[in-house]
Structure 1
Amino acid sequence: MLSAGFHQVPKGHVTTVVTHLEMHAPQTRPTPEIEGVSFKKHDTVAPSDYRKLFRRIGENYLWFSRLHLSDEELLEIFGNPDYDLYTLQRAGEDLGLLELDFRETGACELAFFGLDDALIGTGAGRYLMTQAITLAFQRAITRFHVHTCTLDSPQALAFYMRSGFKPYKQEIEIAEDPRLSGDLPMTAAPQIPVFP
């Protein structure tokens, strides 16, 4: 447990405040479909295509966790019958990502949720969240949970709360800076300083 006050972060690392949220019953709002955008379930995906979308959506927020996984590890996750992968597509191009993890009995984790900048402000986020909540509670779950952090979009936490998730815990995470490890380019997330 950290004591109150300032704590020095090791050089070469980034620090974020992680907020955990949950809902116990579906809470959806009427959401119109987005013209020209389709919602697609993927039974499998080529790891290279997945990494491209993952970086496209998350690079500006230093998403890196999936970049450490091998092709085999990614395919094992996506091949699990209790793990669902969806995208939002426009003109056949993946621009939104939704991953639902049902591997914990009675629960679903909103593992990844994000949009390419081209869809921000179009209503696509609300549409994708409605799909997520509906799909999660179609299974026998009593808890739908997600976490977000201060490295994510500044809009993320408020968006999850507006969607019906309630915060229940916060943590501090310290991780190696993925720009220094080469997982992401040094130009990623310029709003977050690098301390080599």
Structure 2
Amino acid sequence: MKTDNPILPLGYSDMPAGTIATVVTCLEMRQKPDLPFTSAEDSLTLRHWHQPDLEEYRELFRNIGAEWLWSARLTMSDERLASILNDPRVAIYILKDSGRRIGLLELDFRHDNECELAYFGLVPDSTGKGAGRFLMNHAIDKAWARPIERFWVHTCHLDSPSALPFYKRMGFTPYKIMVEVLDDPRRSGVVPKTAAAQVPLIDL
């Protein structure tokens, strides 16, 4: 639908040097979906990660998200990050495969009557093997075990191409599209310059 006063002008817009832009899709579910049970490898275990060590958390965050240019928690001050991770309304889980840390699940209940799937991901060599479905089944169960009315998540085109279809299969429905402009974290060294080869690095 055409609008007379678009937030962004129609057509192309130049980006400031050192920045990247991404299209963000917000999705939600208003009730717990009736999903079929799927088996998982016996080696997979999920445990609550109570007040994680900041550097251990950042290491897992980086291992999972560098290829998708996750950077927010890597640039956050220790004080700010600790205030989130230690908040009793934020539930953090770690997925292990035979004792190895392969996945992160973070549920944010800080807003009344809703839960945000704040972070969800696997290390690259653990995708496509059923671990994501296992982790999401637990995410849905744990979110809807609380008295919420909405469970929501956002993803963007910097994420894996399979992320959006996966969320939809798991019962989320898109409801809003946004554009996010951010500093390219590869330029500052927050993530390696070789990360996210699918996103051109214009190093001016």
Same fold (TM over 0.5): yes
SS across alignment from 1:3: coil
Match of 1:7 in 2: 13
Aligned residue among 63, 79, 83 for 1:76: 83
Structure 1: runs of 5 or more not aligned: none
Aligned residue among 27, 31, 42 for 1:25: 31
Match of 1:105 in 2: 112
Match of 2:167 in 1: 160
| Rounded Cα–Cα distance in structure 2 between residues aligned with 1:77 and 1:93 | 24
Match of 2:73 in 1: 66
1:87-124 alpha-carbon deviations (Å, 9 max, x no partner): 11023221001000000000000000001122211111
Q: CA deviation at 1:21?
A: 0.3
2:56 matches 1:49: yes
| Rounded Cα–Cα distance in structure 2 between residues aligned with 1:93 and 1:78 | 21
Q: Say what the alpha-carbon RMSD is for the aligned residues.
A: 1.0
| Rounded Cα–Cα distance in structure 2 between residues aligned with 1:60 and 1:162 | 23
Count residues in correspondence.
196
Q: CA deviation at 1:40?
A: 1.0
| Rounded Cα–Cα distance in structure 2 between residues aligned with 1:134 and 1:184 | 33
Match of 1:91 in 2: 98
2:179 matches 1:172: yes
Matched residue type, 1:127:
F
Contact 1:34 1:127 in 2 (8 A): no
Structure 2: runs of 5 or more not aligned: 1-6
Which deviates more from structure 2 when the two are superposed, residues 91-100 or residues 161-170? 91-100
Match of 1:137 in 2: 144
| Rounded Cα–Cα distance in structure 2 between residues aligned with 1:121 and 1:52 | 22
SS across alignment from 1:133: helix
Q: TM-score, normalised by structure 1?
A: 0.97
| Rounded Cα–Cα distance in structure 2 between residues aligned with 1:74 and 1:101 | 14
Q: TM-score, normalised by structure 2?
A: 0.93
Which deviates more from structure 2 when the two are superposed, residues 9-18 or residues 143-152? 9-18
Q: CA deviation at 1:35?
A: 2.3
2:194 matches 1:187: yes
Matched residue type, 1:86:
Y
Q: CA deviation at 1:33?
A: 3.0
Identity percentage of aligned residues: 46
Q: CA deviation at 1:37?
A: 1.2
